[in-house]
């Protein structure tokens, strides 16, 4: 996939890395604006038992914006707590992360959302990694559309779990413990 090699990851469904990626070269991380898309089969009119009105396109956009903002806040805090410098401006030594929450399905008892991330090397640099994980939904119950999805413990828990997993993967990659074909540590 785009010159990337599948790496085993105990915490994520799929991790692909470039074989020559050197994560020690990155002095900071830039987290691009998070994209949120709802599952094509999700009908917000059927998922809002607690709400007294239909959701408008503006309401749906506000919901996406809230989810993206909360996602960013949780990820930035987790990365910073792990010693990673998160900046807004992309530089030559930046690891640029583009993240998306895809297939979001609110009020579903099993599948909540899918995390998709791409990692790029600096300004318009090559793709050095791709991450996908959709199993998290089953671990946290359901997203309820009540007052605010982003205030839900399930949403925050799922995103915090992903953030911690990414930080741990970055720690491993920076320690040069990841080798092609999953050979860990030497």
Indicate the pTM of the whole model: 0.80
Sign, CA torsion 136/138/141/145: positive
Tokens matching residue 41: 């089969």
Predicted confidence band of residue 12 (pLDDT cuts 50, 70, 90): confident
- What's CA 20's distance to the chain center, in Å? 23
State residue 86's pLDDT score. 96
Q: Is the pLDDT of residue 85 over 90?
A: yes
- Distances from the Cα of 77 to the Cα of 70, 163, 186, angstroms: 11, 9, 31
**The tokens 């297939």 sit on which residue?**
103
d(CA 5, CA 132): 14
Confidence bin at 1 (pLDDT 50/70/90): low
The rounded percent of the chain whose pLDDT value lies above 90 is 39
Which of 3.40.1580, 3.30.160, 3.40.1130, 2.60.40 would CATH assign to domain 4-173? 3.30.160
Rounded Cα distance between 74 and 71, Å, is 5
Going by DSSP bridges, is the β-strand pair 28-31/14-18 parallel, antiparallel, or unpaired? unpaired
pLDDT in tens, 113-123: 889 999 999 87
Helix (H, G, I), strand (E, B) or coil at 54: coil
pLDDT in tens, 142-183: 444 444 554 567 778 888 988 999 999 999 888 864 443 444
Write down the pLDDT at residue 137. 46
Those residues whose C-beta lies under 8 Å from the C-beta of residue 96, and which sit 6 or more positions away, are: 29, 30, 32, 90, 119, 120, 121, 122, 125
Q: Where do the domains of the chain lie?
A: 4-173
Please list, in sequence order, all residues whose beta carbon lies within 8 angstroms of the beta carbon of residue 151, skipping any fewer than 6 positions away: none
């Amino acid at each position: 996939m785009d010159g990337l090699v599948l790496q085993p990851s105990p915490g994520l469904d799929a991790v692909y890395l470039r074989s020559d990626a050197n994560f020690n070269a990155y002095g900071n991380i830039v987290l691009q604006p998070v994209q949120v898309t709802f599952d094509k089969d999700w009908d917000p009119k059927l998922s809002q038992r607690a709400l007294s009105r239909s959701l408008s396109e503006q309401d749906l956009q506000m919901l996406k914006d809230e989810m993206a903002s909360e996602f960013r806040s949780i990820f930035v805090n987790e990365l910073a707590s792990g010693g990673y410098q998160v900046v807004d401006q992309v530089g030559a030594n930046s690891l640029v992360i583009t993240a998306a929450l895809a297939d979001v399905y609110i009020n579903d008892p099993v599948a909540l959302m899918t995390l998709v991330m791409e990692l790029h090397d600096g300004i318009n640099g090559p793709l050095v990694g791709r991450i996908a994980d959709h199993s998290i939904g089953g671990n946290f119950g359901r997203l309820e559309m009540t007052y605010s999805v982003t205030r839900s413990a399930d949403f925050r828990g799922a995103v915090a779990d992903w953030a911690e997993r990414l930080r741990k993967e970055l720690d491993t990659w920076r320690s040069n413990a990841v080798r092609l074909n999953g050979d860990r540590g030497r």
